[in-house]
Amino acid sequence: MEEKKTVLIVEDERAIVEILKFNLMREGYNTLEALDGEAGLNLAQTADPDLILLDVMLPKMNGFEICSRLREGGFAMPIIMLTAREEEADKVFGLESGADDYMTKPFSMRELMARVKANIRRRSFDLGARASAGVLVEACGIVIDPATFSVSKDGESVDLTQKEYDLLLYLIKERGKVFTREDLMQKVWNYDYFGDMRTVDVTVRRLREKIEADPGKPERIMTKRGVGYYFAP
Ligand code: CA
């Protein structure tokens, strides 16, 4: 039997925690909860959940800071930000701080559950690839070891988040082929619907900052103007 996945809910509104918990448990997940930012960060570090639903406005420490600290500490689990505000700047800021995705409140529970599933499925799929270990993926000085999720650039190890890793692996495996943002949203994020394409752009930018010598003049992850992205052939 497949092991149950654990989702950590960091949210200070108890009513939202309860409804998230109810829905997640019904979908077969274990849940952990924290009602303030500090407790959330602690629990994320000690319990190492499979995914985090992270509210932005929280007592003691906000969601952006929790996200940044987890990424700085090398935690790569998928993080979905729950933002109460509509401002675009917030969404982008959330992605910049290392979140994989965001949803604006009030959100559709069905859509949120679909995103939780998509993010966790991707990870499980990669973990399944451990069995076929030993095959390194290499291109332009980048080496990926899917058995250990480790990535290096010119021999130096690079820390990537889950989605940065997924995106890089996908582009390298299909190197030279140009993908639209919609393609990438579907293949890497596993979304069947039309998501926010900025998620793709921000993830590409973050990835470039980590793997390009000059992120302003990329030589690995290339832009095909008006079309999308590809890994240098
Ligand atoms: Ca809140």
Whole-number Å distance, alpha carbon 70 to ligand 1 midpoint, is 19
Token output for 77: 């689990």
Residue 180 has pLDDT above 80, yes or no: yes
CA–centroid distance, 115 to ligand 1, in Å, is 20
Most confident of the ranges 46-60, 87-101, 117-131:
46-60
CA distance 27 to 113: 8
Give the β-pairing of 142-145 and 137-139. antiparallel
Burial level of 4, CB count in 10 A (0-12/13-18/19+)? exposed
3-state secondary structure string across the chain: CCCCCEEEEECCCHHHHHHHHHHHHHCCCEEEEECCHHHHHHHHHHHCCCEEEEECCCCCCCHHHHHHHHHHCCCCCCEEEEECCCCHHHHHHHHHCCCCEEEECCCCHHHHHHHHHHHHHHHHHHHHHHHHCCCCEEECCEEEECCCCEEEECCEEECCCHHHHHHHHHHHHCCCCCEEHHHHHHHHCCCCCCCCCHHHHHHHHHHHHHHCCCCCCCCCEEEECCCEEEECC
Question: How many whole angstroms from 225 Cα to the centroid of ligand 1?
Answer: 39
For residue 54, how far is its CA from the centre of ligand 1 (angstroms)? 9
Least confident of 22-26, 146-150, 206-210: 146-150
CA 82 to ligand 1 center in whole angstroms = 9
Residue 106: asked if its preceding bond is cis (omega within 30°), the reply is yes
Mean pLDDT of the region 34-39: 97
Tell me the CA–centroid distance for residue 64 and ligand 1, in Å: 12
> How close is the Cα of 155 to the center of ligand 1, in Å?
42
Cα–Cα distance for residue pair 20/31, rounded to 1 Å? 9
Confidence of residue 222 (pLDDT cuts 50, 70, 90): very high
pTM > 0.75: yes or no: no
- How far is ligand 1, taken at its centre, from the CA of residue 20, in Å? 14
14 Cα to the center of ligand 1, angstroms: 10
CA dist., res. 8 & res. 4, Å (int):
13
Average pLDDT, the chain: 86
**Better-predicted residue by pLDDT, 119 or 183:** 183
164-192 average pLDDT score? 88
Mean pLDDT of 93-100: 76
Q: 131 pLDDT band (50/70/90 cuts)? A: very low
Q: How many A from CA of 30 to the centre of ligand 1?
A: 22
13 CA to middle of ligand 1, Å? Answer: 6
139 CA from centroid of ligand 1 (Å): 43
Q: Who's near 194: CB < 8 A, 6+ residues apart?
A: 182, 185
The yes-or-no verdict on residue 65 having pLDDT over 80 is: yes
In this structure, the dihedral spanned by the alpha carbons of residues 92, 102, 145 and 72, taken in order and rounded to 10 degrees, is 60
Residue 56 CA to ligand 1 center (angstroms) comes to 6
What pLDDT sits at residue 128? 46
pLDDT of residue 3: 78
The pLDDT tens digits of the residues spanning 161-175 come to: 888 998 999 999 899
pLDDT of residue 127: 47
Q: How far is the CA of 18 from the centre of ligand 1 (A)?
A: 14
Neighbours of 111 (CB within 10 A): 12
216 falls in which pLDDT band (50, 70, 90)?
very high
Q: Kindly give the distance from the C-alpha atom of residue 97 to the centroid of ligand 1, in angstroms, as a whole number.
A: 18
